[in-house]
Amino acid sequence: MPSRAQPAVNRQVLLKSRPEAIPQAEHFEILETPVPEPGPGEVLVRNHYLSVDPAQRGWVSAVVNYSRTVGLGEVMRAFAVGEVIASRSPDFAVGDHVMGLFGWQEYAAVEPCSITRKVRETDLPLSASLGVLGLTGVTAYFALRELGEPKAGDTVVVSTAAGAVGSAAGQIAKVMGCHTVGITGGPAKAALCRQRFGYDAAIDYKVGDLDAAIAKAAPRGVDVYFDNTAGPISDTVMRHLAVHARIVICGTISQPTWDPWPTGPRVERHLLVKRARMQGFVLFDYQHRYEEAVAALAGWLRAGKLHYEEEVLEGIEQAPGAIARLYRGENKGKLLIRLGA
């Protein structure tokens, strides 16, 4: 239980109304409630960083999804990292750093099953556990390696190449000996791709002929396309697949709504002619192998082979508008909300 030195108030971000498209600030409200008491077996966590993820759009959508839809009046589902400040579980001690589905709130009384992991990489920044050593890095790790199956010498094209997941995917592909091509929006992000994330080529899709740029950057065709967009960028990349290409569907950020369902050029003929494979990825399926990925990512991070960017917003009042900010593509790297120490 929180000591008397802890503030008695827990600020929570609740879902107020159901968005039809991208969640905006007005779909949420901030409520002040008492800091909860942990129940039997539970752990009380003080959150240090809240995560902002594209997947949160799906979690509040009325359209059927891979997890239960967040109800109106419920705390917004979110990953967070924080410190155990009271524990009624034998597996967690006060002072442990933990990461899990703690929601957009300052304090969370949670059952151990909501805790994804204890953070043991004490030499590395805690916030990395929500990014390159967390969901985004682990997503990139498994989605690229298990679905993309890149081999040394393969050409790997990444959309949202400067983003949290994309930049990790591009760098992991580079570590694996691939020729990496990043597609991103704007000259600043393109420069970031080349200079910080080590892409062999970076394409700014906002200028010039994307088709010609891909043909130039991937002259032997695209062996692996790691996609987070599901839109016109993908439609162009599909015309450049190599035989037996693998397309990893990791996100659909370019689609503002799934009601009505968006249309686009049909993929079947591309897949048939190139005997290519297109496959969807959700991290939950790899939860049991999480530590394998963190160990590899932490190793590359310490060895200077993996770099990341963060954009940190200060204070929980930034949370309601943060998903929309993500979908506008304004952030560079992993978007986080830091809560007062």
**Under the rule (CB under 8 A), what is the footprint of a copy of itself?**
58, 64-66, 227, 230, 234, 243, 249-252, 255, 258, 261-282, 285
| Identity of the residue, 206 or 269, whose beta carbon is nearer to a copy of itself in the bound complex | 269
CA distance 340 to 219: 50
CA distance 250 to 229: 8
| Identity of the residue, 135 or 337, whose beta carbon is nearer to a copy of itself in the bound complex | 135
* Least spacing, CB of residue 164 vs a copy of itself, in Å: 17
CA distance 106 to 279: 36
Annotate 165-207 with DSSP letters as a single string.
HHHHHHHHHHHTT-EEEEEESSHHHHHHHHHTS--SEEEETTS
Please report, to the nearest 10 degrees, the dihedral formed by the alpha carbons of residues 132, 301, 91, 38 taken in order. -40
* Least spacing, CB of residue 6 vs a copy of itself, in Å: 40
* Least spacing, CB of residue 231 vs a copy of itself, in Å: 8
Residue 280, classed as helix, strand or coil, is strand
Q: Is 176 left (phi over 0), alpha (psi -120 to 50) or beta?
A: alpha
CA distance 290 to 84: 21
148-169 b/e with 16+ CB inside 10 Å = b? bebeeebbbbbbbbbbbbbbbb
| Identity of the residue, 45 or 222, whose beta carbon is nearer to a copy of itself in the bound complex | 222
| Identity of the residue, 308 or 327, whose beta carbon is nearer to a copy of itself in the bound complex | 327
* Least spacing, CB of residue 281 vs a copy of itself, in Å: 7
| Identity of the residue, 179 or 270, whose beta carbon is nearer to a copy of itself in the bound complex | 270
The one-letter code for the residue type at 80 is: A
| Identity of the residue, 285 or 317, whose beta carbon is nearer to a copy of itself in the bound complex | 285
| Identity of the residue, 108 or 250, whose beta carbon is nearer to a copy of itself in the bound complex | 250
* Least spacing, CB of residue 293 vs a copy of itself, in Å: 17
Strand pairing of 155-159 and 179-184? parallel
* Least spacing, CB of residue 130 vs a copy of itself, in Å: 21
* Least spacing, CB of residue 66 vs a copy of itself, in Å: 5
